[in-house]
Structure 1
Amino acid sequence: MKLGDLVVRKSYGGDVLFRIAALLQNTAVLRGTDYRLLADAPVKDLAQVENPDELRGPRTARVQASESMKRMQEERMHAREDKGDPGAAATGGTGKPYFELPGKVLHLDGDANYLRKSMAVYGQLRMPAEGIHCHESQMADAVADLLPKVRPDIVVITGHDGVFKNRSNYELLTSYKNSSNFIQAVRNARRYDKSRDSLIVVAGACQSHFEALMSAGANFASSPARIMIHALDPVYVAVRAAFTPFRETIDLPDVISNTISGMRGVGGVESLGKYRIGLPNIKPTLIVPTLAAADFG
């Protein structure tokens, strides 16, 4: 076994695919490839995986991710059809007279692979977004530094998390691997902008301390039932926030139930959307900044 190897845990029946992030004597630190789970396991409990598509669990996760992406694209297409042509009277009823301004996203991710996948989704949906890869322990500082520079409408604070073995008291932050880091990052976001309608905060990962994240000021967070969440769940929430009209509240039951993890994995509070249209129509390059991703630190 070496760093970067794809593995599953034999004692869990190979349900989740991991990548080895660190080796500490006879123990491996593992980061989920499809789920935002941070775990550790004895090296002897690991089985190396050559072809992930042969495993039922990882294959199912990839199918779910594909379906989630398809759903986001279909929602955008239907929204455009339902909108019709606002302002058509001013332009003689020809063509598409308006341009779109979806909310801008600042996405901080503790996993470089997840960040690339997330940025690809934003790009396909023509959303302005900046992505930052940084360790979960750096996120509080990164948020404080980047928010005044990027000035986003939505900030996603995510990466990997998990509950330590043999710790069943979910109320204690010491039971979680990275929840305290996410919470401090949310608090820094709220020091920058205290309004949940001005800045939408999406925070957490697998098994994160949902109640503490919400108390710190998040609009949406994981994980109410302390379950695993899919890598794209925070992205899906951010997309829905970015494309919900600014006069409307984000449809909570709808957006949460349509994440891959559902209501056991994601929760939130009523929040206004960030989407606007404008007149006259102009070139998209003038209003949608180029996607950018970088490492913090």
Structure 2
Amino acid sequence: MNVVDFKVNDYVLIKNDDKIYQIEAIEKNIAYLKGLTYRFQTTSLISELTVAPTHLVEKAIKKVNEIIDRFKISSKSRDKHQMIYGTILHIDGDKEYLNSCMDLYKEMNIFANGIYLKESEIKEKIEELVLMLTPDIVVITGHDLYNGKGFKELSNYRNTKHFMDAVRMIRKHFNSESITIIVGACGSNFEALIASGANFSSSPKRINIHTYDPAVIAIKVATTSINQTVDFGQVLKYIENKKDAFGGIETKGKMKVLL
């Protein structure tokens, strides 16, 4: 396939890498890529790319959808006429992923505000948004990347520092019991994000997380009673990479029961 045949939104594979990517932009001989179902971005020489076979793309999407379908079924027993669920502010650095998560919230009858912001812009907007919208739960996600050069050094992460700054802005006004914060993307510095004030974050083993992982946790928090601790073990049933992908601290739910 000739270089000129590649275009934005094509699904591709990188040489010696079995993950499927989508082209976000092309500049000269460089392609800017994001994961098809994973929350990370990277770049590659056009010469290193091949077209991803349709059956592999469909298989990857089907795998994620099967997990989410199981999650939906597990939550259908809730009596939505007796409960007031926690509200969510979902801030995402990826428009497509944001729309997917918003569709999931809607289907699960969870009220959510969704806002697209570049990861570097979140810290500038988050304080105003939280004070204006007064959510019970805040999701801060998008894309991140760990370069493998050392767990502790923040400069080795593309967006972890931006996520940390956003969390700290919220914690200036609200503690971990007032607002539950779920933060991070692929390869994020888990320890740094928890230390900055997050309730749940990625990525303990610096691995990839799926599109829906932060939203699944947010829904579980929103539908767990304020008198109960979120059963994180139940949440992990619907996160493919389990505790390697997401961790957190003991956190109460945000659902209130009508009397």
TM-score under structure 1 normalisation? 0.81
2:221 maps to 1:241 = yes
Query: How far is the alpha carbon of 1:79 from its aligned partner?
Result: 4.1
Sequence identity percentage: 34
2:15 maps to 1:16 = no
2:100 alignment partner, SS class: helix
- 1:35-50 equivalences under 5 Å are 35-49=38-52
2:121 alignment partner, SS class: helix
Query: How far is the alpha carbon of 1:60 from its aligned partner?
Result: 4.2
What residue is the counterpart of 1:27 in the other structure? 30
2:247 to 267, 285, 290: 267
2:238 and 2:85 map into 1 onto residues whose CA distance is 20
Contact 2:11 2:20 in 1 (8 A): yes
The CA deviation string for residues 218-251 of structure 1, in whole angstroms up to 9 with x for no partner, is 1000000011111111011001000000100101
Contact 2:71 2:238 in 1 (8 A): no
2:154 and 2:26 map into 1 onto residues whose CA distance is 25
1:60 and 1:202 map into 2 onto residues whose CA distance is 28
What residue is the counterpart of 1:136 in the other structure? 119
Equivalent pairs counted in the alignment come to 254
Which 4+ stretches in 1 moved above 3 angstroms? 58-61
2:7 maps to 1:2 = yes
2:190 to 210, 215, 222: 210
What residue is the counterpart of 1:286 in the other structure? none
Query: How far is the alpha carbon of 1:142 from its aligned partner?
Result: 2.2
1:169 alignment partner, SS class: coil
1:189 to 170, 189, 214: 170
Query: Mean Cα displacement is larger for which, 196-205 or 256-265?
Result: 256-265
Contact 1:203 1:234 in 2 (8 A): yes
- Structure showing greater Rg: 1
2:249 and 2:173 map into 1 onto residues whose CA distance is 20
2:205 and 2:113 map into 1 onto residues whose CA distance is 30
1:175 to 148, 156, 164: 156
TM-score under structure 2 normalisation? 0.92
Which letter does structure 2 place at the counterpart of 1:18?
A: Y
RMSD: 1.8
Query: How far is the alpha carbon of 1:196 from its aligned partner?
Result: 1.0
Aligned in 2, Cα 1:163/1:242: closer, same or farther, shift over 3 Å? same
Contact 2:68 2:238 in 1 (8 A): no
Structure 1: gaps spanning 5 or more residues: 81-95, 280-297
Which letter does structure 1 place at the counterpart of 2:252?
A: L
The CA deviation string for residues 75-127 of structure 1, in whole angstroms up to 9 with x for no partner, is 222344xxxxxxxxxxxxxxx9x532111000011111101110000000110
